[in-house]
Amino acid sequence: MASGTLSRQDALSCVGCRHACHILLYADTEAQLFEETPIRHILLMQMRFDGLLGFPGGFVDPSVETLEDGLSRELWEELGFSLSVTVDDHVNSCHTPSSSQLVAHFYARKMEEREIREVEKAAATTATDHGHEVMGMVRVPLYTLKGGRGLPNFLSHSFIGNCRCQLEDALLRFGLVPREELEMALQQAEQRRSQP
């Protein structure tokens, strides 16, 4: 287990903690940008009501429902899509930097490209949270073009909680971006953020 992370069981035994569950939905794709740059994978994130980027999901009270049932409920509200999350989808859990009393549980599910398109469609049409808690779904650009266009610019935006770390970890864990490319993109993102 990576440093700073807790097992699902240890996280659940935290007395007085609140729990938040979020998920990365992703798929492989053959699509190309401008008919020359492979897009490689589709990763879904969302623009939240507070103007920050995050993953779909939310607060779950484990005394009322399991973490996975709660996350499935949140996905129905935020995406308008029925997805039964299971313990097998769990990636890691950790105390958030903002509050040691809030535990963030991270999940990931690989889907077919067709299913991801259905999620995007439902999120913009039938999801009850659309236009309220969720301003829209976004795909993460995984390529780097000249001038930091693509992943470096994306990483320079602002993210909720430790969700940027969750994204970086997932990119490496699931082999979605080579490590050197990610490290380069992070450096470029940092430069962009520090520009006056």
- The torsion angles phi and psi of 10, rounded to 5 degrees, stand at -60, -40
Min dist. Cβ of residue 170 to Mg ion (A) = 18
Of the candidates 11, 72, 74, 154, which one interacts with ligand APR according to CB under 6 A? 74
Residue among 103, 99, 46, 100 nearest 70 (CA): 103
With beta carbons less than 8 A apart as the criterion, state whether 150 and 142 touch: yes
> Which of 78, 120 has the CB closer to ligand APR?
78
User: Which residues, 6+ apart, have CB-to-CB distance to 86 below 8 Å?
Assistant: 68
Select from Mg ion, ligand APR, none the partner in contact with residue 154, using the beta carbon and a kind-dependent cut-off of 5 to 8 Å. Answer: none
In this structure, the strands spanning 134-139 and 32-33 are: unpaired
Within 10 angstroms of residue 77's Cβ, the number of other Cβ atoms is 16
Stretch of 50-58, 117-125, 146-154, 185-193 lying at the interface with ligand APR (CB under 6 A): 50-58
The single residue among 45, 53, 58, 70 that binds Mg ion, judged by CB under 5 A, is 58
Q: By the criterion CB under 5 A, which residues form the site for Mg ion?
A: 58
Q: By the criterion CB under 6 A, which residues form the site for ligand APR?
A: 20, 22, 54-55, 57-59, 74, 96, 104, 133, 160-163, 166
